[in-house]
Amino acid sequence: MSVRFHKNYKRISLIFSDSLKYAVEDFFFLLNRGYNRSSSLDLVTARYRLSRLERLLLYRAVFSRTVSLDRRRKTLSSKKIINEKILVDGFNVLSTIQSALLGDVLVRGTDNIIRDMSAYVRKIKVSNFLITSLFISLFFISRFFPKYVIYVFDSQVSRSLLMLRILSCFSKKASFRVSGKLAKNADKYIVMHADEFIVASSDSVIVDRVNRVFDMGGEIAEIISIETIIDLSDLLDGLRV
């Protein structure tokens, strides 16, 4: 039996061709030589005639060796979040889980963090898929007995208040403290309050500005749809720099 999705949830697929592989290698090489990120991306995109989705993969997943190693050092596995306070970048994490549910292509970057490509075809909106992703994330994190979990959602996203109501219902039966927060700028709020928390996010801006990171969306995606993940993490070991 085939599964049919609404037109707004068409699967995002991508073949990791030889030309895309060479583009990834060249972009990584240029970054490690100190070239400007934006200019290097434009150059490689033109050189290999990359599609929008291929360009997005480079943008979302390829970083210099220095940046990648710094992010790896601060990224914790789920085993390290036991009895810790977790601050969740709500729509960022749920978008990755939603993409895994839909069978979208995902990418593990040179920094070892898994990201989705959904910005290519769809905007974040509260839907049945996203609500399902929220429940999956809650049940996943409950296995590690966190002390306190706060989900931060962008208030600009339509129906974001619904996510808070769902969290409120869940919290009444949860074995751990969980709550939600609406913020006009979720990134800024998370960075400002990150000191006493482990931050669950794959957003590069956030990851670079906090001390401890948990790739919750990525760990869940590996369980749901590991076969759709393009892995670029071995670039740090195999390429000239």
pTM for this entry: 0.91
- Model pLDDT, residue 1: 29
Contacts of 36 (CB under 8 A, 6+ apart): none
Q: Where are the beta strands (DSSP E) in 29-147?
A: 75-76, 85-89, 106-108, 114-116
Name the CA radius of gyration of the chain, rounded. Answer: 18
The series of mean pLDDT values per 10 residues for the chain, 241 residues long, is 48 92 96 97 98 96 96 95 96 96 96 92 85 94 94 91 89 85 95 96 97 98 96 72 38
> How many domains in the chain?
2
User: Do residues 153 and 197 both lie within one domain?
Assistant: yes
Return the closest-CA partner of residue 215 out of 76, 65, 111: 76
User: Do residues 92 and 148 both lie within one domain?
Assistant: yes
User: Do residues 179 and 230 both lie within one domain?
Assistant: yes
Upper half-sphere CA count for residue 21 (Cβ side, 13 Å): 9
- Model pLDDT, residue 9: 63
Tokens of 229: 């993940």
Residue 9 lies in a domain: no
| β-bridge pairing 177-183 and 198-200 | unpaired
What is the domain extent for residue 54? 18-65
- Model pLDDT, residue 195: 94
Residue carrying structure tokens 């898929």: 129
